[in-house]
Amino acid sequence: MVLTAGTLVNGVRLRHRLSGLTRLDAQPGQQDEDYLLVQAPGVEVDDVTRRAAAAHAQAEELDVLDLVPGNLPLPDAVDLARAVDTVAFRSAGFAVGRGALHAVLVRRDVWDRMEASPEAGAPRVRDRADLVRLMVRLKQHAARATDFVVVPSLRAVDAGLPERLGVLQATYDAFAPVALAIPAARSSLVLAGLVLSPGWGAAAAATVVLQPYLVTGGSALAPHPRWSLRRDIVSRVLDPFTMIKAAAALNRHPSPSADADAEGDPIEAIDPIDPIEALRPDYEAELAPGLARFFEPRRTTCPWCDSRAIAERVRTGDLAQFKPGEFVIEECASCGLLFQNPRLTIDGLNFYYRDFYDGLGAGGTQFLFAHSEPSYRGRVDLACRHSSPQAWLDVGSGYGHFCLVARGLLPATRFDGLDMGSSIEESWRRGWIDHAYRGLFPDLADELQDRYDTVSMHHYLEHTRDPRAELVAAHRVLRPGGHLLIEVPDPESRFAQLMGRFWVPWLQPQHQQFLPVANLCRALEAHGFSVVEIERGPAHQPVDLGGGLWMWAASLAPPPRLPWRDPPTPVERFRRGVILVALAPIALAGMAADRVIKPFVSTKAPSWSNTYRVLARKR
pLDDT digits (tens, 9 = 90+) for 9-24: 888 888 888 888 888 8
Per-residue pLDDT at 551 exceeds 60: yes
Query: With 60 as the cut, is the pLDDT of residue 230 above it?
Result: no
Query: 64, 138 in Cβ contact below 8 A?
Result: yes
Query: Which residues, 6 or more positions from 465, have their beta carbon under 8 angstroms from its beta carbon?
Result: 343, 512
Which of 94-98, 483-487, 566-570 is predicted least confidently? Answer: 94-98
In angstroms, the CA 132 to CA 135 distance is: 5
Amino acid identity, position 161 = L
What CA–CA distance (Å, rounded) separates 305 from 308?
Answer: 9
Cis omega (within 30 of 0) for bond into 509: yes
Pairing of strands 327-332, 338-340: antiparallel
Domain boundaries, given as residue ranges, for the chain: 2-167, 281-353
Edge-to-edge strands of the sheet including 338-340?
310-316, 327-332, 338-340, 513-514
Contacts of range 51-55, beta carbons closer than 8 Å, 24 or more positions apart: 52/24, 52/25, 52/26, 52/27, 52/28, 53/24, 53/105, 53/149, 53/151, 54/29, 54/105, 55/27, 55/28, 55/29, 55/30
Under the banding of pLDDT at 50, 70 and 90, the label for residue 201 is confident
Residues 6+ apart with CB under 8 A from 144: 90, 91, 93
CA distances from 349 to 352, 355, 458 (A): 5, 12, 19
Q: Strands, E, within 252-362: which ranges?
A: 310-316, 327-332, 338-340
Residue 219: name the closest of 10, 48, 12, 54 by CA. Answer: 12
Bridge partner residues of 392 (DSSP): 415, 454
Averaged over 171-185, what is the pLDDT? 66
Q: pLDDT (tens digit, 9 = 90+) per residue, 34-72?
A: 888 998 888 888 888 888 999 899 888 898 999 999 888
Q: Are 563 and 276 in contact (CB under 8 A)?
A: yes
pLDDT of residue 244: 52
pLDDT tens track for 102-144: 999 998 888 877 764 444 445 678 888 888 888 888 888 887 7
Residue 17's Cα: distance from chain center in Å?
Answer: 20
What per-residue confidence (pLDDT) applies to 455? Answer: 98
Torsion sign, CA atoms 55, 61, 67, 68: negative
More confident residue, 305 or 227: 305
Q: Determine phi and psi for 605, rounding to 5 degrees.
A: -135, 65
618: CB partners within 8 A, 6+ apart: 475, 478, 479, 480, 481, 482, 483, 484, 528, 529
First to last CA, the chain: 61
Distance CA(530)–CA(484), nearest Å, equals 10
Q: How far apart are CA 181 and CA 512, in angstroms?
A: 33
**Residue 210: Cβ-neighbour burial (10 angstroms; 0-12, 13-18, 19+):** middle
Using CA atoms, how far residue 292 sits from 253, 295, 356, in Å, is 32, 6, 21
pLDDT confidence band for 564 (50 / 70 / 90) = very high
Closest Cα to residue 509, out of 367, 392, 341? 341
Smallest Cα–Cα separation from 584: which of 553, 605, 609?
A: 553
Is the model's pLDDT at 80 over the cut of 60?
yes
Q: SS3 of 445, please?
A: coil
Separation in Å, CA 322 to CA 176, 318, 558: 17, 5, 7
Q: Does an H or E element contain 147, and which?
A: strand 146-151
Q: Tell whether the model's pLDDT for residue 30 goes beyond 70.
A: no
Peptide bond before residue 342 is cis, with ω within 30 degrees of 0? yes
The three-state secondary structure class of 332 is strand
DSSP at 573: H
Write phi, then psi, for 133 (nearest 5 degrees): -60, -35
Provide the angle, in degrees to the nearest 10, between the axes of the packed helices 161-172 and 176-196: 120
In angstroms, the CA 148 to CA 18 distance is 10
The model's pLDDT over 371-392, given as tens digits with 9 standing for 90+, comes to: 788 899 999 999 999 999 999 9
Q: What are phi and psi of 69, to 5 degrees?
A: -60, 140
| pLDDT tens digits along 274-332 | 788 889 999 999 999 999 999 999 999 999 999 999 999 999 999 999 999 999 999 99
Rounded Cα–Cα distance for residues 48 and 71 (Å): 19
Q: Quick check: pTM over 0.95? A: no
High-pLDDT (> 70) share of the chain, %: 86
